[in-house]
Amino acid sequence: MVTLKDVFVKGYVTAYDPSTHTIRAVIPGRDNKTTGPIQILEKNSMSTKHQHPYSIGEQVVIIFDPESSNLNEGWVLGSPYSSVDIPPQTSPTVETAVFSDGTVVSMDTANSNLSVNCPGTVTVKAETIRLQGSTVTITADTLGINGTNTTFGGSSSNLNINGTGDVVVNGISLVSHVHGGVQSGGSSTSRPK
Ligand SMILES: [Fe+2]
């Protein structure tokens, strides 16, 4: 008679193949036998696809076909947390993904804060990108804006450039340019036309 213990089995990943999204696992409850490639169940696999890689040594729960004694006839249901592999956070209002390089994507519904913290590069590519907020702050050592047509505008727009730097247009410095055709002296020129 097949029991639930025969169907739901704990194992430890020994290999992961992303091209087929399968793992092999060693099964302590089956004399430490190693399975063949076993499919990992995901939310979707057709036009919408999800893929979550598994780490070597990660504990998984596998459901085996009760009609088969073949250790390939199974599916990975998921990976349980344990006293060794603990959840990354303890708030009941936070949904998060923590990656092996330290990247964290986190959503806290208690304060509606969505955060992406990535030690590498974040690339956002789209036909149209809109950043909209009552305050938008960009902080960078180097800030580059590359646009064929660049407009700074608003209903009552002011552009303030602080600091001790300069604005240079076509090689002409806003801070230190001079005007020809005027006599040097104490007078000021009139406002630009
Ligand atoms: Fe001028």
Ligand 1 centroid to Cα of residue 5, in Å, is 84
- The answer to which of 74-78, 85-89, 177-181 has the lowest mean pLDDT is 177-181
Closest CA to 15 of 41, 39, 40, 37: 37
What's the gap in Å between 177 CA and the centre of ligand 1? 7
CA of 163 to the centre of ligand 1 (A): 20
The domain spans of the chain are 4-78
Interatomic CA distance for residues 38 and 40, integer angstroms: 6
| 157 Cα: distance to centroid of ligand 1 (angstroms) | 21
Mean pLDDT across the chain: 93
Question: Is the pLDDT at 153 greater than 90, yes or no?
Answer: no
pLDDT at 188: 83
**Closest to 13 in 3D by CA, of 52, 75, 59, 76:** 59
Beta pairing partners, 16: 23
Q: Separation of 154 CA from ligand 1 center, angstroms?
A: 25
The Å distance, Cα 116 to ligand 1 centre, comes to: 45
Whether 154 shows a pLDDT value over 80: the answer reads no
Give distance in angstroms: CA of 192 to centre of ligand 1: 7
Residue 99 CA to ligand 1 centre (angstroms): 54
Class of domain 4-78: mainly beta
